[in-house]
């Protein structure tokens, strides 16, 4: 059953003033359409200084050149098609190859990556939610929501395996997947989300930026994919009792 469907497209846009009056240097406009509702929000995504071309006109926003990223975020119904399982396996392998701390070591094979997705999708709780972002090359990103198993935590779910393929990173897709999974969680009646991330990494920064609260750090929690370097884990939570807008908290 499709519970959330979003079309995400980015187009180069002029910098917009931030709330406190400063201008962001570069960004793209994201139009999000949920279900059959019309465009409900336009959100400026960007980071000062990134994506600028060099040269004499570099400060002119019309000269900014960034490739367009067009993705569609949708809910994947378990067990998933063979094509999607292949694409998800590639997504996981890409994350591990990039050095990401996502449970696996660099010895992960393609077959093992696909097998992990197959088992995860097939064995998931009926209330679990798998969101994927498709681009013209396949699945460019994903995120999962798993309800807490404990009978005394029916309101809690764990966000897991936020993955964005390297070809689509730093364009706001990770943030959009998080917004989408929060909306899905709220729609499914969850009131509290938890997750953990490698301390100091891109995901750690992203979650803080999206309003997640850091509950603490566990030193030496897991190894990097190299199997030798230990890293810390940061535990985050986010209550969903406060309404969030499509553009985040
Ligand atoms: C963590 C991860 C999901 C982030 O995905 P992403 O799509 O790159 O995320 P975003 O684009 O929303 O944000 C990432 C950065 O891009 C920047 N960015 C966002 N939109 C941008 C734009 N239009 N132009 C330039 N930069 C932009 C953000 O400000 C952010 O910068 P920061 O890292 O300095 O804070 C991705 O790096 C990934 O898949 N990593 C490997 C797997 C992993 O570690 N997962 C987390 C498990 S807990």
Q: Residues 172, 30: contact at Cβ < 8 Å?
A: yes
- Determine the distance separating the centroid of ligand 1 and the alpha carbon of 175, expressed in angstroms: 7
Whether residue 204 is predicted with pLDDT greater than 50 in this model: the reply is yes
Confidence of residue 42 (pLDDT cuts 50, 70, 90): very low
User: What's the pLDDT tens digit per position in 125-148?
Assistant: 999 999 999 999 999 999 999 999
User: What's the pLDDT tens digit per position in 44-67?
Assistant: 233 322 222 222 322 332 223 335
pLDDT at residue 209 in the model: 98
- Determine the distance separating the centroid of ligand 1 and the alpha carbon of 39, expressed in angstroms: 24
pLDDT at residue 61 in the model: 28
Q: Which atom of ligand 1 is nearest to the CA of 28?
A: 23
Domain extents in the chain: 73-239
Please tell me the distance from the alpha carbon of residue 215 to that of residue 238, in angstroms, as a whole number. Answer: 10
pLDDT at residue 68 in the model: 64
Summarize the confidence of residues 111-124 as an average pLDDT.
98
Q: What is the strand order of the sheet 41-46 is part of?
A: 41-46, 27-34, 5-12, 70-75, 129-135, 138-147, 156-164, 192-198, 230-239, 213-223
Confidence of residue 70 (pLDDT cuts 50, 70, 90): confident
Whether residue 235 is predicted with pLDDT greater than 50 in this model: the reply is yes
Please tell me the distance from the alpha carbon of residue 62 to that of residue 170, in angstroms, as a whole number. Answer: 20
- Ligand 1 site residues, Cβ closer than 6 angstroms: 27-28, 45-47, 50-51, 95, 98, 100, 102, 162-164, 169-175, 197, 201-203, 205-206
Whether residue 120 is predicted with pLDDT greater than 80 in this model: the reply is yes
Mean pLDDT of the chain: 78
238: its two tokens: 């986010």
Summarize the confidence of residues 93-112 as an average pLDDT.
98
pLDDT at residue 233 in the model: 98
Whether residue 18 is predicted with pLDDT greater than 50 in this model: the reply is no
Confidence of residue 8 (pLDDT cuts 50, 70, 90): low
CATH of domain 73-239: 3.40.630.30
Using a CB cutoff of 8 Å and minimum separation of 24, what contacts does 79-87 make? 79/118, 79/121, 79/122, 80/117, 80/118, 80/121, 80/130, 84/132, 84/139, 85/114, 85/117, 85/118, 85/121, 86/114, 87/138, 87/139
- pLDDT-above-90 percentage for the chain: 68
Residue with the larger pLDDT of the pair 34 and 76: 76
Whether residue 28 is predicted with pLDDT greater than 70 in this model: the reply is no
Summarize the confidence of residues 165-178 as an average pLDDT.
97
Summarize the confidence of residues 191-218 as an average pLDDT.
98
Nearest CA to ligand 1 atom 28: 170
């Amino acid at each position: 059953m499709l519970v959330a469907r979003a079309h995400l497209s980015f187009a180069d846009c002029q910098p917009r003033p931030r709330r406190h009056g400063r201008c962001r240097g570069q960004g793209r406009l994201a139009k999000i359409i949920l279900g059959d509702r019309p465009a409900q929000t336009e959100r400026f995504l960007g980071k000062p200084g990134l994506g600028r071309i060099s040269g004499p006109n570099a400060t002119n926003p019309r000269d900014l050149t960034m490739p367009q990223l067009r993705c569609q975020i949708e809910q994947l119904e378990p067990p998933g098609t063979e094509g999607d399982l292949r694409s998800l396996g590639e997504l996981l392998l890409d994350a591990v190859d990039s050095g990401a701390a996502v449970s696996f070591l660099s010895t992960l094979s393609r077959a093992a990556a696909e097998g992990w997705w197959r088992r995860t999708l097939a064995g998931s709780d009926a209330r679990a939610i798998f969101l994927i972002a498709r681009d013209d090359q396949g699945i460019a990103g994903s995120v999962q929501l798993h309800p807490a198993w404990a009978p005394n935590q029916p309101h809690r779910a764990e966000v897991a395996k936020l993955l964005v393929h390297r070809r689509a990173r730093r364009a706001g897709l990770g943030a959009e997947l998080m917004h989408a999974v929060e909306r899905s969680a709220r729609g499914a009646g969850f009131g509290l989300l938890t997750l953990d991330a490698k301390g100091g990494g891109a995901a750690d920064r992203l979650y803080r930026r999206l309003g997640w609260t850091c509950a603490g750090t566990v030193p030496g929690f897991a190894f990097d994919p190299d199997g030798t370097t230990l890293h810390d884990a940061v535990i985050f939570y986010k209550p969903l009792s406060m309404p969030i807008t499509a553009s985040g908290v």
